[in-house]
């Protein structure tokens, strides 16, 4: 079926689990909590591109038992793997994503709207109907081998987490790291996943050559709140343990106190930074909660269920920072907001990081070591 005008064409997908989507699965109404146990989103509203969807009852209204939401994975064969951006407020211009969607299920995830490009819901679909890209590492090898390629730091984890639970079975991130190590390519990784410890044997040599840095996100020290907001991500203590182990292996780690949620996690800012410093982090960063597109209604549904008494105050703070709107996507503004509250958080962060010695910028990664490795049958140089 042809895509609607203005809608990106879906990538070539190979289904591992064939699923039939019915209107009940795309409902914008809250779904029974028992069915979405250990999931972040409250509903599964249709994609914004699903313009022809109609929801109608059949008139029977017969109670029936509904299964929970299992994680389903399908595979994509990417024609290209490197994604380039020209955003002036981002410190990188290229990235890769081994997976689409994220099983961690963080309710605040700004990447949720990208699932709409696949014709899926940014709600429960985003965390239960995932796409793996197993041929990505070989495509990456081909792209890095091009004579037109110019090396610069490659970011991983800036959209969905490369160390989400399905990486344990698929191993796509590890295969990507092996390719980058072979090319001596600089890489910056962002994750919540403690599974990153598995790859220390690849990461430590990259760090030793000045080719790697890692950012590990710790949003709250409250284990209960973390389980509600980030239902399948490792708990706060486990993430701090990962920082400790990476740091002990000589890998520079930045603690990311992101996102800061006004009225919910903002009071923990200094404690988070202190915990990160104690675990071995050498730098820190923060971003304010962002609610682009479908994330705002999903977030507000979550607040209404879990923190109804704080919902009005939290949303008022966010709108105060974005000119009365839930979110303002302007470059240079979207990450922090503006106004008195945003300035207060920035000031607290600056004071705490200066006191803890976390205010030093991370050194730039090396690009001079990059090389295209030879392959069997290549002519060897005489010099």
Please state the rounded mean pLDDT for residues 306-310: 96
pLDDT band (50, 70, 90) for residue 162: very high
Q: What is the DSSP letter of 45?
A: P
- How would residue 10 be classed by pLDDT, with cut points 50, 70 and 90? very low
Distance CA 126, CA 47 (A): 11
pLDDT surpassing 50 at residue 2: no
79 against 3, higher pLDDT: 79
Confidence grade of residue 215 (pLDDT, cut at 50, 70, 90) = very high
CA separation for the pair 263, 235 (Å, rounded):
21
What φ, ψ does residue 130 adopt, rounded to 5°? -105, 160
pLDDT at 47: 67
What pLDDT does residue 57 have? 44
The mean pLDDT value for 70-85 works out to 93
Query: Could you give the C-alpha distances from 308 to 49, 261, 300, in angstroms and in order?
Result: 30, 15, 9
pLDDT band at 26 (very low <50, low <70, confident <90, very high): very low
Cα–Cα distance, 170 to 342 (Å, whole number)? 40
Q: Round the average pLDDT of the chain to a whole number and report it.
A: 87
4: DSSP letter? P
Residue 91: predicted pLDDT: 84
How far apart CA 322 and CA 86 sit, in angstroms, is 23
pLDDT for res 40: 63
Q: What percent of the chain has pLDDT over 90?
A: 72
pLDDT in tens, 223-258: 999 999 999 999 999 999 999 999 999 999 999 999
Write down the pLDDT at residue 11: 47
- Nearest-angstrom CA–CA distance, 215 and 266: 20
Number of C-beta neighbours around residue 89 at 10 A: 11
Strands 94-96 and 154-156: parallel
Q: Which residues are paired to 188 by β-bridges?
A: 155, 213
Task: Measure the CA–CA gap between 377 and 58, rounded to whole angstroms.
Answer: 66
Q: Structure pTM? A: 0.85
Report the length, in residues, of the chain: 383
């Amino acid at each position: 079926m042809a895509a609607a005008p203005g809608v990106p064409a879906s990538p070539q997908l190979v289904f591992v689990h064939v699923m039939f989507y019915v209107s009940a699965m795309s409902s914008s109404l809250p779904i029974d909590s028992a069915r979405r146990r250990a999931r972040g989103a409250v509903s599964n509203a249709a994609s914004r591109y699903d313009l022809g969807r109609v929801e109608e009852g059949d008139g029977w209204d017969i109670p029936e038992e509904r299964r929970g939401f299992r994680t389903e994975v399908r595979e994509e064969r990417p024609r290209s793997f490197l994604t380039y951006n020209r955003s002036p407020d981002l410190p990188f211009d290229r990235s890769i994503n081994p997976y689409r969607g994220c099983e961690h299920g963080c309710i605040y995830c700004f990447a949720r709207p990208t699932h709409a490009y696949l014709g899926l819901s940014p709600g429960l679909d985003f965390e239960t109907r995932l796409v793996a890209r197993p041929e990505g590492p070989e495509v990456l090898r081909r792209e890095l081998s091009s004579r037109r390629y110019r090396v610069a730091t490659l970011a991983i984890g800036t959209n969905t987490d490369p160390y989400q639970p399905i990486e344990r079975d698929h191993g796509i991130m590890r295969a990507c790291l092996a390719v980058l190590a072979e090319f001596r390519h600089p890489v910056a990784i962002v994750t919540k996943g403690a599974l990153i410890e598995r790859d220390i044997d690849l990461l430590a040599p990259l760090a030793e050559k000045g080719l790697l840095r890692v950012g590990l996100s710790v949003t709250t020290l409250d284990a209960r709140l973390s389980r509600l907001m980030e239902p399948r991500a490792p708990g706060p203590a486990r993430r701090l343990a990962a920082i400790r182990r990476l740091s002990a292996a000589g890998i520079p780690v930045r603690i990311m106190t992101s996102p800061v949620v006004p009225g919910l996690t903002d009071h923990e800012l200094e404690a988070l930074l202190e915990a990160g410093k104690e675990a071995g982090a050498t730098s820190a960063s923060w971003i304010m909660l962002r609610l682009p597109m479908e994330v705002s209604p999903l977030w507000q549904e979550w607040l209404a269920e879990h923190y109804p008494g704080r919902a009005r105050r939290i949303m008022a703070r966010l709108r105060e920072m974005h000119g009365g709107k839930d979110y303002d996507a302007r470059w240079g503004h979207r990450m922090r907001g503006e106004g008195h509250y945003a300035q207060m958080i920035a000031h607290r962060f600056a004071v705490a990081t200066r006191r803890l010695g976390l205010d030093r910028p991370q050194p730039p990664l090396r690009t001079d070591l990059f090389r295209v490795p030879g392959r069997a049958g290549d002519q060897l140089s005489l010099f």
